[in-house]
């Protein structure tokens, strides 16, 4: 299956003082989703943004918001982020004590629910929940900061997650997040990822629009293209 690759620029590396302009640039470049990283200073060391900012972004973005919760007890904030305009909401298996309930809650609100695996969490952690997930997010860096180096074992992890999903009868998409750039995009697609998050590789360049196009091109023939 070579179609349906989605590019999800992470605004973590954008200029927060001109977020609307930066989002418009990646949308011109063909971004499929806008990836929003929420960090609480507990589950991860960093603190970023909350529902009011998501609500403001929702007003200017034309692409769905893919909200990645790197927070403890994410169930406490599901409704707030749905109400703020998330179209996809993902929670870490390491942070969600009652993951099945939280995934069911997200889906009951009519948006897509995803589970996230830290680099040290095995793919098998998804075995009992795989059939309920709309997508899986595989972290290819330890969460908390943009601009980190891709962990090479993530390629094998992608293959293992695909096996777990297949055994559950699911063909849910796998998202990959952390250190993605033009040098590894084709590899992660070949290993089973179909949603590529990129922060530094897009907003760390002088031209985020061109960088978004370049990342899709780097996926090779697998990437398809937005018209």
The residue assigned the tokens 């962990």 is 151
Q: Which of 37, 66, 134, 187 is catalytic?
A: 37
**If binding is defined by CB under 6 A, does position 180 make contact with ligand DX5?**
yes
Does the active-site annotation cover 134?
no
- Which residue's CB atom is positioned nearest to ligand DX5? 199
Residues in region 185-224 near ligand DX5 by CB under 6 A: 197-201
CA-CA distance, 56 to 157, in Å (whole number)?
Answer: 35
Q: Which of 22, 40, 134, 177 is catalytic?
A: 177
* CB-nearer residue toward Zn ion: 68 or 105: 68
Binding residue (CB under 6 A) for ligand DX5 from 144, 160, 163, 182: 144
Residues in region 173-192 near Zn ion by CB under 5 A: 177
Binding residue (CB under 6 A) for ligand DX5 from 63, 66, 68, 158: 68
To ligand DX5, the closest distance from the beta carbon of 32 in angstroms equals 15
Residue pair 3/192 in contact by the 8 Å Cβ criterion: no
Per-residue three-class SS string for the chain: CCCCCEEEEEHHHCCHHHHHHHHHHHHHCCCCCEEEEEEECCCCCCECCCHHHHHHHHHHCCCCEEEEEECCCHHHHHHHHHHHCCCEEEEECCCCCCHHHHHHHHHHCCCEEEEEECCCCCHHHHCCCHHHCCEEEEECCCCCCCCCCCCCCHHHHHHHHHHHHHHCCCCCCEEEECCCCCCCHHHHHHCCCCEEEECHHHHCCCCHHHHHHHHHHHCHHHHCCCC
To Zn ion, the closest distance from the beta carbon of 197 in angstroms equals 5
User: Which of ligand DX5, Zn ion, none does residue 154 bind to, with CB < 5 to 8 Å depending on kind?
Assistant: none
Q: Which stretch binds Zn ion (CB under 5 A): 61-69, 83-91, 106-114, 155-163?
A: 61-69
Question: What is the pattern of x (binds ligand DX5, CB under 6 A) and - over residues 4-43?
Answer: ------x-xx---------------------x-x------
Does the active-site annotation cover 83?
no
User: Which of Zn ion, ligand DX5, none does residue 144 bind to, with CB < 5 to 8 Å depending on kind?
Assistant: ligand DX5
To ligand DX5, the closest distance from the beta carbon of 167 in angstroms equals 27
Q: 55, 47, 56: which is closest to 18 by C-alpha?
A: 56
CA-CA distance, 58 to 125, in Å (whole number)?
Answer: 32
Residues contributing to the site for ligand DX5 (CB under 6 A) = 10, 12-13, 35, 37, 68, 141, 143-148, 177-180, 197-201
Residues of the shown chain interacting with Zn ion in the complex, contacts defined by CB under 5 A: 37, 68, 177
Known catalytic residues? 37, 177
């Amino acid at each position: 299956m070579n179609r349906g690759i989605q590019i999800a620029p992470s605004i973590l590396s954008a200029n927060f003082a001109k977020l609307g302009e930066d989002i418009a640039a990646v949308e011109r470049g063909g971004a499929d989703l806008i990836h929003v990283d929420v960090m609480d200073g507990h589950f991860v060391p960093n603190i970023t943004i909350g529902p009011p900012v998501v609500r403001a972004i929702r007003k200017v973005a034309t692409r769905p918001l893919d909200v990645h919760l790197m927070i403890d007890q994410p169930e406490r904030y599901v409704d707030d982020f749905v109400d703020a305009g998330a179209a996809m909401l993902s929670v870490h298996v390491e942070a969600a004590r009652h993951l099945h309930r939280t995934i069911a809650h997200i889906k009951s609100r009519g948006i897509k629910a995803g589970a996230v695996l830290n680099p040290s969490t095995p793919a098998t952690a998804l075995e009992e929940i795989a059939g309920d997930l709309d997508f899986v997010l595989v972290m290819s860096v330890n969460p908390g900061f943009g601009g980190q180096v891709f962990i090479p074992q993530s390629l094998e992890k992608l293959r293992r997650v695909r096996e777990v999903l297949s055994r559950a009868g699911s063909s849910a998409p796998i998202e990959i997040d952390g250190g993605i750039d033009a040098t590894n995009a084709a590899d992660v697609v070949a290993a089973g990822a179909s949603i590529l998050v990129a922060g530094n590789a897009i907003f760390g360049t002088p031209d985020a629009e061109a960088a978004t196009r370049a990342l899709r091109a780097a996926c090779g023939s697998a990437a398809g293209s937005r018209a």
